[in-house]
A and B are shown apart, each in its own frame.
Chain A
Amino acid sequence: MFGDFDFGEIARSLRYLFATGMAFTLQITALAFVGGMALGTILAMMRLSKLRAVAFVAGGYVNVMRSVPLVLTIFWFYFLAPSFVAWLLGSSDPIQINAFGTSVVAFIIFEAAYFGEIVRTGIQSISQNQVNASLALGMSEAKTMRWVVLPQAIRVMVPVLLTQTVILFQDVSLVYVLSITDFVGAASKIAQRDNRLPEMYLFVAVVYFAICYGLSVLVRYLRRRQQLAAT
């Protein structure tokens, strides 16, 4: 079964797998996390807004994004962005946009819906009495948010955000559908060049498992510490 396994194949391609593939995966994960958090926080504020139209728009965005597969969103951005940018700039031909840029934008737009919901539930977990108290002390709504609600909400959100980031990290593998060289893409290129599919894909699975399992242990530790702090 493992008799004709060539582990040397993995050793020989380690540099390419990590320096090219994993580096790309981590870059997209980081950029999508920062962008998704920023846009997600705005969405969460909008959903909690007293203006019903604003809350409705943000709610619609989140619900549509959460009912569409990520693969479809990636296709949307990859194939539509050139025409869209051309239309913005008034150009008659589609503008060339690199795959890296479109995937980052697609992930930010998509993940913002998920991060936004985490931020919203985090903010809503803070009791209304605290808001009332700080308003009664004469703080403005913005100051209440900044100094009273968010510092507590962020502590509630951290484990959930970390879990979502692990999911994001796994989801980046889906840029495979654009034939981009992320970690899976790099492994798949070598696997097909040398006809070594089992070795490469098993190695990819082991690496993903090690990273994600490590992070999930960290999440559990954070959760336990939070529960202890709450009691």
Chain B
Amino acid sequence: MAPDGQGTYLDGLIAGLGWTLATALLAWALALVLGIVVGITLTTSRRWLRRFAGAYVELFRNIPLLVQMFLWYFVLPELVPADIGHWLKSLSNAPFVTAVVALGFYASASVAVQIAAAIGAVSLGQRHAALSLGLTIPQAYRHVLLPVAFRIAIPSLSNDFTSTIKNSSVALTIGLMELTARARAMQEFTFYVFEPYAVATLGYVGVNLIVVNLMRALERRVAIPGFISSRKD
């Protein structure tokens, strides 16, 4: 029985795993949306748009995730008008919301780079063919370039997703009781060191295995015969 009176320590660790997954999944959804928009912007022909997207990527890539979390959690409420600041500080699940936003923006920089690289990897001939068939540029992206680019990006995106799961542990610094934080708390209460961390490690390795295999299955399922992404390994 754990001292918080809500079941056993194992229940606590499982709840922690739940928070880890919830944080990572929501952050990943945010990262995909932002990353795809910024990634496409990186490949446009307008120079100032590319500059803007490049600055976005550099901004979120070159500051440690821990510092970004602190900026969102401690600094942002002080910089916005006082009313909004108070509202932000009094959110009931502020650590969770902040963790999702911080992780989402952090991961989106990497997603944007992968998407841009994947669009660049689709042969130029396809872009020219689409345009000469009379498709507009948005149509060419929507029907020709992106469907192939997304498939090319799947392996590196799945890498980013597993990173996001692991990075969610940084949120323990702003008070989110995810898996690592639960293990740490259990260690403090019980003075057992090995057991909580061993269970947490197994949790992360298990989730990682599941994600890697799901993404591989997805990659095979959507593969277009004849393209690189349909390799069989």
Contact = CB atoms under 8 A, between A and B. Distances in A.
B166 A208 contact: no
A185 to B, nearest CB: 10
Q: Which of the four size classes fits the interface of chain B?
A: 35 or more
Interface stretch (B60-68, B126-134, B142-150, B220-228): B60-68
B197 A75 contact: yes
B162 interface: yes
A174 B71 contact: no
A71 interface: yes
Contacts of A64: 201, 205
Contacts of B170: 69, 71, 174
Chain B contact surface mostly: helix
B172 interface: yes
Contact of A71 (B162, B180, B187): B180
A72 B64 contact: no
B193 interface: yes
A47 B194 CA distance: 28
Interface string A63-93: 0100111111001100110010000000000
Contacts of A79: 187, 193, 197
Q: Which of the four size classes fits the interface of chain A?
A: 20 to 34
A64 B203 CA distance: 11
Interface in B158-173: 162, 166-170, 172-173
A80 B197 contact: yes
Chain A contact surface mostly: helix
B200 interface: yes
Interface stretch (A139-147, A150-158, A196-204): A196-204
A171 B61 CA distance: 12
A173 interface: yes
A179 B61 CA distance: 24
Contacts of B183: 72, 75
B204 to A, nearest CB: 5
Interface stretch (B2-10, B74-82, B87-95, B117-125): B74-82
Contacts of A177: 172-173
A230 B119 CA distance: 23
A197 B58 contact: no
B51 to A, nearest CB: 14
Contacts of A80: 193-194, 197
Contact of B71 (A71, A188, A201, A216): A201
Nearest to B171: A71
Contact of A76 (B67, B172, B197): B197
Contacts of A170: 63-65
A24 interface: no
A212 interface: yes
Given A64-B205, A67-B205, A201 B67 contact: yes
Contacts of B194: 80
27 contacts: A64-B201, A67-B166, A67-B204, A67-B209, A68-B201, A69-B180, A71-B170, A72-B180, A72-B197, A75-B180, A75-B183, A79-B197, A171-B64, A173-B66, A174-B66, A176-B66, A176-B173, A184-B66, A184-B67, A184-B70, A198-B78, A201-B74, A202-B71, A202-B75, A204-B67, A208-B62, A208-B64
